[in-house]
Amino acid sequence: IKRPCSVIGASYNIDLFMPRLARCTTATVRISGMIRPSSSRRGALRTLRVLRDIQHTFADKVEIILFGAADDDPQFRVLPRDFKYRNIGMCSPEQLAGLFNQVDIFVDFSNFQAMGLTAMEAMACGVAVIVPETGGTNSFAIHQKNALVIDTFSLKACYTALSKLVNNDEQRLSLMAQACKDMARFYPEGPAYRILDRLFGH
């Protein structure tokens, strides 16, 4: 690129994605994952394999909730689903905000993320997240401080990271609390101001 470029930064809808409910203190760890089989980079097969292994290992200690694809989606139906899960299908932003106020962990096992908006939204609601190290998640995710940032091409790395969050209550709760605090600074007015400043500022 021969012309000067500016990074305006990441943001999300802070009026919608926020902590709204006091999470129930139960022994069950609730894990959510987005399944988008129509997009190969989203890693739907990888995500389901890892979640299946986690569910088989931890059984009733975990509850797995999927979203992003309907039960009758042909591309979803051919994926491995031989484990206990609940699928809520396609979600509106309001439904997603509600879900993120009920779960403890959100996994994004995509190949890469340009930014990682869904992970940001989950973190803003106080969810512990696992995100890919490839792409733009480093604009908001700090490994072992407010998220786990991993090599998502490795099934072993994905399984290991998730199993640690299930087993380690202290780490999971720490990530949840820090994520919520850190996301508060990604309000949309910031990038809007930087765009205007880049276009019209001196």
- The secondary structure of residue 45, as a DSSP letter, is H
> Is 32 a residue whose pLDDT tops 70?
yes
Q: Is the four-CA dihedral 35, 90, 11, 172 of positive or negative sign?
A: negative
pLDDT band at 65 (very low <50, low <70, confident <90, very high): very high
pLDDT one-digit tens code per residue, 165-177: 999 999 999 999 9
> How far is it, in rounded angstroms, from Cα 133 to Cα 53?
22
Q: What percent of the chain has pLDDT over 90?
A: 69
pLDDT at 13 over 90: no
Q: Over pLDDT 70: what percentage of the chain?
A: 97
pLDDT in tens, 96-105: 999 999 999 9
pLDDT mean over 28-41? 92
Burial-class residue 108 by CB neighbours within 10 Å (0-12, 13-18, 19+).
Answer: buried
Our measurement of the distance from residue 91's CA atom to the centroid of its chain's CA atoms, rounded to an integer in Å, reads 14
In 3D, which of 73, 175, 72 has the Cα closest to residue 128? 175
Region 24-32: what's the mean pLDDT? 86
**202 band by pLDDT with thresholds 50, 70 and 90:** low
pLDDT tens profile 77-130: 999 999 999 999 999 999 999 999 999 999 999 998 877 899 999 999 999 999
Q: What is residue 106's predicted lDDT score, i.e. its pLDDT?
A: 98
Cα(55)–Cα(181) distance, integer angstroms: 30
Query: Structural domains in the chain?
Result: 29-200 (3.40.50.2000)
Q: Is the pLDDT of residue 1 over 60?
A: no
Spatial separation of the C-alpha atoms in residues 60 and 31, rounded to whole Å: 12
